[in-house]
Amino acid sequence: MRNRTVLVSGAGIAGTTLAYWLAWHGFRPTVVERGLWQRTSGSSVDVHGQALQVANRMGVLDRLRATGTGVTGMRFVDGYGRGSGRINLRALARSAGGHDIEVPRSTLAAILQNASAPHAEFVVGDTIAALAQDEHGVDVTFEHGRTRRFDLVVGADGLHSTVRRLAFGPDSVHVRHLGLYFATVPFEGPADYGREVMMHNTPGRVVALQPSADGPIAFFAFRHETLPDFNHRDVEQHRLLLAGAFSRGAWRTPELLARAQASEDLYFDAVSRVQLPTWSSGRIALVGDAASCVSLFGDAPSLAMAGAFALAEELAATPDDHRAALRRYEARHRRLADPRQRGVEQASHLLVPATWAGIRARNAASRLWPAAVAATWLGSRLTAGPLPPPMPMPPRATRSAGAATPS
């Protein structure tokens, strides 16, 4: 049986979900991850739709529910902290019949890593330096010097994907900056707002505090044209950019900015969209943000989980024909990912209006959102169906690539 050893680059949400399901289907996954520690910053994310089904089949749904943020609303405030609009997220969820779970991104990643760790080889503190594929496999040279051969390689390494750059070309071809930069940092002081997200806008800027099971998270975003010398790994550059964008902020901006400047756990990046004509090249494929990033918007974590599950399932359906499997995976998952990509710019203008008039219009319209958004939410999920039962990992000796997935 061919195509059984799979290297997955990236131990994030897409990579760990993929590793779990590859092992479930009898493949032998290896996950390589550059990072040596789990970041605690990062916005909370929704797990919904097909991702909920994937989480339930993995047996982690109860853990996600137990660590949910319990956010009940989003309140817009002026420079003095006075309310200027509110969205009742709990009423929205009730009216739409939703079962979404909001969790900190880092918590979701940790739960998925724990689920996949017993079933895959993890190589931490290294990354891919070169890829050379032929008809029968891929020779992978790692940054620390050794070379290994795999049947398939999958890039699940996010917006700044090494696999995408090596196999599909430079980021300048496939990554489009959407005019926003954003940052998150853990906030150790009191939030004082219960279970509501508090958001303060000025033209082209937003500062927010959002509840989290592990403590509040401070969030910043600002509009800016592409910075040609931007380095997503340069924390000192990130601190300077934040200071320049928010030096004159009102509400709690000075307090939150001071926390960001002092923290070693600051996350900062550009809001970008990744678009490629194809997600595979021979024996190399992409999944999650590496394939179709709509960073900050567009349900990226839920899309990553659904895409990883689909990729593993299609590879298992024809383990001796990876090309057909990768074509089916892409056709199947683009039906979910493409509509999210088309809506990303509208979402960015709702989060960070560019003018005072836009801010006032957004705040005034917020009282109408529950009914309107609920209708859209419900329509997008009518085909999801009830949650299937969990699917425990079969004994290793009984699994084989190509085994049918229980329905």
Instruction: Convert the pLDDT of each residue in 88-120 to its tens digit.
Output: 666 555 544 456 788 888 889 999 999 999 999
- Compute the distance between CA of residue 327 and CA of residue 333 in angstroms, rounded to an integer: 10
Nearest Cα to 183, choosing from 228, 232, 229, 225?
A: 232
Mean pLDDT, the chain, integer: 84
Nearest Cα to 74, choosing from 373, 378, 304, 346?
A: 373
Q: Which amino acid is at 9?
A: S
pLDDT, one tens digit per residue, over 342-378 is 767 777 788 889 999 999 888 887 766 554 444 343 3
Question: How large is the angle between the packed helices 235-246 and 253-262, nearest 10 degrees?
Answer: 170
- pLDDT for 152 equals 98
Q: How many separate helices (H) and strands (E) can be counted in the chain?
A: 15, 18
- pLDDT for 375 equals 39
**Helix residue ranges per DSSP H, 289-368:** 289-292, 300-317, 322-342, 344-351, 356-365
- Compute the distance between CA of residue 226 and CA of residue 272 in angstroms, rounded to an integer: 10
- pLDDT for 88 equals 65
The set of residues, in sequence order, having a beta carbon less than 8 Å from that of 17 and lying 6+ positions away, is: 54, 58, 112, 116, 304, 305, 308, 309
- pLDDT for 386 equals 46
Asked whether the predicted pLDDT for residue 129 surpasses 60, the reply is yes
- Compute the distance between CA of residue 344 and CA of residue 268 in angstroms, rounded to an integer: 19
Q: Judge contact between 30 and 14, C-beta under 8 A.
A: no
- pLDDT mean over 294-322: 89
- Greatest CA span in the chain, whole angstroms? 66
| The two structure tokens encoding residue 102 | 């909001």
- pLDDT for 381 equals 35
- pLDDT for 294 equals 74
Burial 270-296 (b: 16+ CB within 10 A, else e): bbbbbebeebbbbbbbbbbbbbbbbbb
392 pLDDT band (50/70/90 cuts)?
Answer: low
- pLDDT for 93 equals 55
Nearest Cα to 246, choosing from 208, 267, 220?
A: 220
What's the sign of the alpha-carbon dihedral 32, 38, 39, 44?
Answer: positive
Q: Which residue has the higher pLDDT, 125 or 386?
A: 125
| The two structure tokens encoding residue 111 | 């739960």
* Homologous superfamily in CATH for domain 5-174+273-392: FAD/NAD(P)-binding domain (3.50.50.60)
- Compute the distance between CA of residue 31 and CA of residue 8 in angstroms, rounded to an integer: 5
Tell me which DSSP letter residue 264 carries. Answer: S
Residue located via tokens 């990303």: 344
- Compute the distance between CA of residue 323 and CA of residue 299 in angstroms, rounded to an integer: 28
Measure the CA angle with vertex 56, ends 55 and 62; round to 5°: 95
β-pair partners for 132? 139
Q: Judge contact between 180 and 224, C-beta under 8 A.
A: yes
Q: Distances in Å between the alpha carbon of 273 and those of 173, 180, 238, 308?
A: 11, 11, 20, 19
Q: Judge contact between 76 and 363, C-beta under 8 A.
A: yes
Other Cβ atoms within 10 Å of 314 Cβ, number: 20
Asked whether the predicted pLDDT for residue 204 surpasses 60, the reply is yes
Residue located via tokens 């790692």: 142
pLDDT, one tens digit per residue, over 155-187 is 999 999 999 999 999 999 999 988 899 999 988
- pLDDT mean over 29-48: 77
